[in-house]
Amino acid sequence: MLTLFIRTIILYLVIFTIMRLLGKRQLSDLQPFDLVLTIIIANLAQAPLTNTGVPLFYGLMPMICVFLLEALAAFIARKSEKAHSFLCGRPSLVINRGAIVEDELKNIRLTISDLQALLRGKGARSISEVEYAIIETDGTLSVLFKSDKRPLTPEDMNMAPKQEVYPRLLIDNGEVRRDELRRAGLDDNWLSKPLAQLGIINPSDVFVALLDDSSTLYVQPKSGKMLSVNVSAPEN
C-alpha cells in the first residue's frame, strides 16, 4: 500500500511538471498533436499505478521520452511553417466576405447547423451578420462582424429591444428543411417564389437558405455568393 502511495505521488509530480512545461493551461489550448501526447502520457502512467510489479522506471522513462519528442516537434514547428501546419493544422476560413466557404466546411467536416451553433456562441444571430469567420487550430471560432452589424447595446442607442428570433434554416446543402417551413407556417410553394426571384429554380442548387425575423431570405447558391431577398413575414 505504501509503495502504491509513493508511486502515485511521484507520477503525479512528473505528469504535473510535464504539463506545466508544455505550457498548456486548459484543454481548449491544446493543438491536436498536443492532445494526442497528453492521452499517451496518461496511458503510460496507468501501468505502474495498476501493476506494482512493473518497475516505476518503465513508466517514467517513456513519459520523459514523449515529452522530449514533443519539445523537439514544437521547436521544429516554430522554425518551419510547413511543419507547423502538419503538426498543428491550419486555421480554416469558413466565412469569407460574408459568404460561406463550402469547400472548407467539407474539409473540416462541419455542417451548417454546427457553424450556426458556433456563431451563436459568439453573439451572431445570423450568418449574414458575419464578414469573416475562422475555425482556429484548437477548434475555437474567431468572428469579425460586418461593420454595420457589430454588437451595440440597446442602452447605447436609447432603444428598447424587440424580441429576437434566430434565423430559420430552410435549405441545408440542397435539402429543404420542411420541418422548419412548417414551424414558420410556410410550404414549398412559398419557398419557390423568392428563389425564383433570385434566378434559382431547383432548391438542390442552394447550399444554404436562412430566413430571419426581418422578413429577409438569405440564399447562397452552391459555388456562389450570399444573396438576399425581402419576403412576406413568417408566422412564429
Exposure of 204 in the CB half-sphere (CA atoms within 13 A): 0
Residues 6+ apart with CB under 8 A from 102: 207, 222, 223
- Asked, colleague to colleague, whether 92-145 and 168-230 share their fold, the answer is yes
Ordered by start, the domain boundaries in the chain are 2-87, 92-145, 168-230
d(CA 185, CA 178): 10
How many Å from the N-terminal Cα to the C-terminal Cα in the chain?
65
Query: Residue 83: pLDDT band by 50, 70, 90 thresholds?
Result: confident
d(CA 209, CA 148): 21
Tens of pLDDT, residues 105-142: 999 899 999 999 999 999 888 888 999 999 988 788 99
Return the pLDDT at 130.
92
Partner residues linked to 100 by β-bridges:
95
Which of 21-35, 137-151, 156-170 comes out lowest in average pLDDT?
21-35
Grid cell, residue 105, equals 466546411
- Coil, strand, or helix at residue 1? coil
Comparing 189 with 16, the larger pLDDT belongs to 189
pLDDT average, residue stretch 149-159: 68
Res. 166 pLDDT band, cuts 50 70 90 = confident
**pLDDT score at 68:** 87
CA-nearest of 127, 142, 131 to 92 is 142
**27 pLDDT exceeds 60?**
no
pLDDT at site 220: 95
* The three cell numbers locating residue 109: 467536416
- Please provide the CATH number assigned to the domain covering 168-230: 3.30.240.20
Grid cell, residue 29, equals 489550448
**Mean per-residue pLDDT, 161-188:** 85
Return the C-alpha cell found at 71. Answer: 519539445
What band does 100 get if pLDDT is binned at 50, 70 and 90?
very high
Predicted pLDDT at 174:
92
Residue in this structure with the C-alpha cell 438569405, named with its chain if needed: 218
**pLDDT at position 172:** 92
Kind and range of the H or E run holding 38: helix 32-50
Q: What is the per-residue pLDDT for 155?
A: 67
Which CATH number describes the domain made up of 92-145?
3.30.240.20
Residue with cell 452589424: 149
Please report which confidence band the pLDDT of residue 226 belongs to, taking 50, 70 and 90 as the band edges: very high
Burial class (CB in 10 A: 0-12, 13-18, 19+), 135: buried
